[in-house]
Amino acid sequence: MRTISKYKVVYNKNVKKKYIVPLAALTCTLLLAFIFLTRKTITVFEDGKERRIATYKNTVKKALEDNKILVGPKDKISLALEAKLVNKEIINIKRAVNVKVLVDRKELSIESAEDNVGLMLNAEKITLGNEDRVEPEKGAKLSDGMEIKIVRVETKTVEEKAPINFNTVVKKSSRMPNNQRKTAQEGKNGEKKVTYSVVCEDGKEVSRKVTSETVLSNPVDEIILQGTYPLMPVNKNGEALPYSRVFKARATAYYAVYGVGRTYTASGRKAVRNVDGYSTIAVDKSIIPLGTKLFVEGYGFAIAADVGTAIVGNNIDVYFNTYKEACNWAVKYVNVYVLK
């Protein structure tokens, strides 16, 4: 019995040695194989900067966290964080930058990893009108600290009424002395409808352009009568003519009763009205001899060529071609110059 027990112990020790060593070797081999198979080498690009890392993690998120690479909520990553990793994976991370957007009288602080201004505005659901202006332009690359301004632009049509100023027309009048002016017709403004194309930026008008005008009422000219007769005798050059004396006279008027060119004076001359020369007047020949050259204030140059029963003393009667002209003159008190 002792002999059998002895051999039994020896047999057990040999068996253990025979199996334990190979098992240990197999375990090591399997462990090395597992380590080799689960180890991954990946490449991470952060804003274009390359970084190679080795990891045993099986998801993108765990691999990045294991290497202290954090992904912010606005950062852009080429793979989903829960995606399974494979060896030689390439991961691109674009970091968000901080920008300010000035829009609609507000200042917005925004984080964005978009490539340019336009894509950022789309991502943030900031809508633009057809005429709105973006500064800098939508194609500009985003950068940290950038300030972006959106100008709301609106073009609208505006109609307004505006006055049409009247013109002042000066007409010469041979019936008035040159120191007199009077209004023969009052001026009146007209009115027009003006259509503008108005451009507003952020609610404020910055420009307007007339697109059409419609006349609603025409203006009425103001007519001013300017006398042409000099108050003193002057020649065509405006130089004063010599005279022997001057007296105040009561001047009435008469006209060509028998027609122009058919009315004769007491001296036998035809009665004439010549605004550029000498006209006919009636005088008291005991005071002013017939044939005397005179200058009558407001009437012009004249020759004493006629008389009348009512023309006595310092009374004169000036001649006009028409009844209307004589009526317009009526009665005036004027200076009469006796020319040398």
84 contacts 46 by C-beta, under 8 angstroms: no
Give the C-alpha separation, 78 to 96, whole Å: 14
Sign of the torsion formed by the C-alpha atoms of 170, 172, 178 and 180: negative
Given a cut of 60, whether residue 277 has pLDDT beyond it is: yes
pLDDT given for residue 298 in this prediction: 84
Nearest of 99, 144, 151 to residue 129 by alpha carbon: 151
Lowest mean pLDDT among 31-35, 289-293, 309-313: 31-35
Q: Angle at Cα 214 formed by Cα 213 and Cα 216, nearest 5°?
A: 140
Q: Which pTM does this prediction carry?
A: 0.53
DSSP 57: -
Give the C-alpha separation, 206 to 198, whole Å: 8
Sign of the torsion formed by the C-alpha atoms of 280, 281, 282 and 287: negative
Cβ within 8 Å of residue 43, ≥6 positions away:
50, 51, 52, 88, 89, 90, 91
Give the C-alpha separation, 186 to 147, whole Å: 61
The per-residue pLDDT of the chain, averaged, comes to 88
User: pLDDT class for 239, splitting at 50, 70, 90?
Assistant: confident
Given a cut of 70, whether residue 18 has pLDDT beyond it is: no
In the chain, the domains with their CATH numbers are 40-94 (3.10.20), 97-151 (3.10.20), 156-226 (2.20.230.10), 232-339 (2.40.40.10)
User: pLDDT class for 21, splitting at 50, 70, 90?
Assistant: low
